[in-house]
Amino acid sequence: MGLFDYFRGQKKTSASLAKERLQVIVARERGARSGPDYLPALQSDILDVVRRYVAIDDDAVRVQVEREGDYEVLELNVVLPDED
Amino acid sequence: MARVVVVTSGKGGVGKTTTSAAFAAGLARAGHRTAVVDFDVGLRNLDLIMGCERRVVYDFVNVINGEANLNQALIRDKRTEGLSILPASQTRDKDALTFDGVQTVLEGLAQDHDYIVCDSPAGIERGAHLAMYFADDALVVTNPEVSSVRDSDRVLGLLASKTHRAEQGDEPVREHLVITRYVPERVGKGEMLSVEDIGEILSIDLLGVIPESSAVLNASNSGVPVILEQQTDAGQAYDDVVARYLGETREQRFITEKKGLFGRLFKG
């Protein structure tokens, strides 16, 4: 941190932004990798079932496995469309 | 027993072939019989970087198909003793490389070499998968840039699951990080991911940092592995990479800014 930076204030550098974005995306992709093989199939089945009742986008269903200590939590997230 | 080292990255254009050529030449200079194999079927380039493009007669696929034997296809490097090159085929047939074929060729090379360096193609398709499949060690080449770091992480996932070692439940492939095109001045300004940032995200052993250098293009222009240009920064950085790989302890020489007096006064 040089003298001029002090007066310029603490603006976030592009490198620190890059690091933050990478940490988030890498963590998410590692999570998807380590999950069980059937997750993508489960996700598309749930999508089909929900679609029998309401029209939703392809990315409206999120399936994730979180590890907490000794047990795993299967997290399902379905985003329903706004009612007009 | 020969050790198989894959040079891989996922992303293209980050310096896999440059690193493969330099690393293989460095191992040979250190007295180890080394073969460097181009896995980029259809896009042969290692021969150009090694300066032996006019000596290619037979290639990797010819050997797999039994159209030539290994000795006929291997090109002995004229500058570095103990170094040979197995060029990729220029065929457009993506399936020219087979698991059995690659295994047979690597076993053949292992008979009279100490190290086999596999120069992987970009991507995560068949060629890249085959290049890493039989590896004992991996050099993961990464630029200080978001897409390269993300792709490297993806490749690390594959090394841990889609290799022979992973499938057999053997000791995992040893992963080493090689950061290329590094500019300490830009890191200092907060414009470029630092060695520490990349290390923190990928969390693998850092083998070396190659600075952004005009020497790399110059060396490739003349078909000389850059490690042979020992008066250049990139050449010295690769020399350190090889020495560290072989177990020597060397300090990182190219990760701090070269500051003039003026810079030192104003940058604290």
* pLDDT tens digits for range A42-56: 888 999 999 999 999
A67-82 tens-digit pLDDT: 777 888 888 889 988 8
Residue B58 vs residues A38, B53, B76, B150: alpha-carbon distances, Å: 45, 11, 13, 36
A73 Cα to chain B: minimum distance (Å): 22
Alpha helical stretches, state H, A1-84: 3-8, 14-34, 39-51
- Which residue in B146, B190, B192 is closest to A21 by CB distance? B146
**Strand B3-8 versus strand B137-142 pairing type:** parallel
pLDDT of residue A33: 78
Q: At what angle do helices B146-159 and B195-202 cross, to 10 degrees?
A: 30
Tokens of B110: 């292992």
Q: Do A2 and B266 touch (CB under 8 A)?
A: yes
Per-run averaged pLDDT (10 residues), chain B, 268 residues:
96 97 98 98 96 96 95 97 96 89 97 98 96 98 97 96 96 98 96 96 96 97 97 98 97 85 57
Q: Which residue of A has its CA nearest to B144?
A: A15
The DSSP H or E segment spanning B22 is helix B16-29
List the 48-87 stretch of B: residues with Cβ below 8 A of A. Answer: none
Q: Residue A15 is nearest to which of B192, B266, B268, comparing CB atoms?
A: B192
What is the reported pTM? 0.85
Give exposure, B95-121, as e/b (b: 16+ Cβ within 10 Å): ebbeeebbeebbebbbeebbbbbbbbb
Cβ neighbour number for residue B134 with a 10 Å cutoff = 21
pLDDT for B268: 45
For all residues of chain A together, what is the average pLDDT?
A: 82
Task: Give the model's pLDDT for residue B93.
Answer: 86
Report yes or no: A32 at the B interface, CB cutoff 8 Å: no
Whether A1 shows a pLDDT value over 60: the answer reads no
Whether the pLDDT of residue A3 is over 60: the answer is no
Taking a C-beta distance cutoff of 8 angstroms, is the pair B84, B75 a contact?
Answer: yes
Q: Which residues of A touch B124 (CB under 8 A)?
A: none
Taking the C-alpha atoms of residue B110 and residue B113, their distance in angstroms, rounded to an integer, is 5
| Nearest-angstrom CA–CA distance, B145 and B193 | 7
Residue A84 has a pLDDT of 62
Pairing relationship of beta strands B34-38 and A71-78 according to DSSP bridges:
unpaired
Give the number of residues written for chain B: 268
Q: What is the pLDDT of residue B263?
A: 58
Between CA B194 and CA B202 the distance in angstroms is 12
Write down the ipTM of this complex.
0.86
